[in-house]
Amino acid sequence: FLICWLTCSLFQRTFRSSSRAMHVMPAWVIDKYGNNDVLRFTRNASFPLITYPNEVVIKVHAAGLNPLDVGMRGGYGAASMSMKRDPLNLKQSGSEFPLILGREVSGVIMECGLDVKYFRERDEVWAAIPPWKQGSLAEFVVLSGNEISHKPKSLSHTEAAAIPYVAATAWSALVNTGGLSKDNCGNKRVLILGGSGGVGTFSIQMLKAWGAHVTVTCSQNAERFVRELGADHVVDYTAGPVQEPLRVMEKFDLILDNVGGDTERWALSLLKPWCGAKFVTLVTPFLQNTDQMGLADGMMKTFVTVASKALKHLTSGVHYRWGFFAPSGPALDEVRSMVDAGQIRPVVEKTFSFSQVPQAFAKVEEGHARGKTVVQIIGGGEYS
């Protein structure tokens, strides 16, 4: 009896101690939408728990930041994300707070759900995090098994955290929407409008690895940078109307638009007509429409807009499409193979410690990036 009592007592103390230790964690959160002032560091963020059997808990080593994080900090996409988090509208307004930002993670699996088959505890993984989930600017994050992938062995966690979001976005736009693949790119001409940012730099490398001819628009001081990544032809948009030098070139099979604005007015005329050529833009009004008009009216306006534009340009023999970020573990599996084969390298412009998250946001908010901004959660200073 005494042995049983001692064993139970020890178990209870161990369990309670572990439960308490794992009840909270350090994280950067926001309690409302706004500018950089809303970022708040806490040691008492709720520890993420596995709620579905296909989920894993990841100890975050590094987190990548993107313009989307700056937008979400200010409330961009709040209406759509709220619907995704709470489709039946059962929760009160503002229930997403405190919200943890950060859409890219590289780290180590600490726990697996019962249905997780392809990963184990202590596996090194990377992932792009859906915007309706809590992000990676924390000690731990929970993701589903189909959203994660084994990290490339050739990269550190800091390097790996610079790739998943831009890779998933580019893959969705170029492969899922644009129809490109390693098997059909050999004779394709691709134009990337805005090629020196995260999605652009990744797209250049992936397309070149697949054998495409890649033309890029960027500022003059980024020309050498994108050429080193493999761009065949570079057009300086600061030298005058960028469409003028592009119009004298051979027409393109696909245009990836990272710029938006008035590009749609002239860019589609650069495509090969009646050959299945596509214009894919990542700058869409979908989230802005739902934020301004509400979910139902915003979605209706979005549908009418994209349908009318697609029909208009189809009569000219080209396809108009919108591209969206789509997290995908299988896509990252493909990217991992390309990284470890030396075909794609991370482009990290600047790293920050975990205590410097507001400075990291300010860096992303400046724009005109030459690669990615990464926050080192482990090995990047104390949680302070």
pLDDT for res 368 = 78
Note the pLDDT tens digit of each residue in 106-124.
999 999 999 999 999 999 9
Note the pLDDT tens digit of each residue in 298-334.
667 766 676 776 666 677 899 999 898 999 999 999 9
Q: Which two tokens stand for residue 56?
A: 């894993």
Q: 3-state class of 86 per DSSP? A: coil
Is the pLDDT confidence value at 285 over 50? yes
How far apart CA 12 and CA 223 sit, in angstroms, is 63
Note the pLDDT tens digit of each residue in 4-56.
443 444 434 333 333 334 689 999 999 999 999 999 999 999 999 999 999 99
Note the pLDDT tens digit of each residue in 329-379.
999 999 999 999 999 999 999 999 999 999 999 999 998 778 899 999 997
pLDDT for res 11 = 38
Contact status, residue 257 vs residue 193, Cβ threshold 8 Å: yes
Contact status, residue 129 vs residue 135, Cβ threshold 8 Å: yes
Phi then psi for 354, rounded to 5 degrees? Answer: -65, -30
Q: 3-state class of 339 per DSSP? A: helix
How far apart CA 310 and CA 180 sit, in angstroms, is 19
Note the pLDDT tens digit of each residue in 190-248.
999 999 989 999 999 999 999 999 999 999 999 999 999 999 999 999 888 999 999 99
| E strands in the chain | 24-30, 39-46, 55-65, 104-112, 124-128, 140-144, 148-150, 189-193, 213-218, 233-236, 254-257, 278-281, 319-322, 348-353, 372-376
Instruction: Give, to the nearest 10 degrees, the angle between helix 198-209 and helix 164-171.
Output: 60
Note the pLDDT tens digit of each residue in 243-265.
999 999 999 999 999 998 889 99
Question: Can you say how many angstroms the Cα of residue 22 is from the centroid of all Cα atoms in its chain?
Answer: 28
Contact status, residue 191 vs residue 252, Cβ threshold 8 Å: yes
Q: Which two tokens stand for residue 73?
A: 């900090």
pLDDT for res 303 = 65
**Gap between the terminal Cα atoms of the chain:** 47
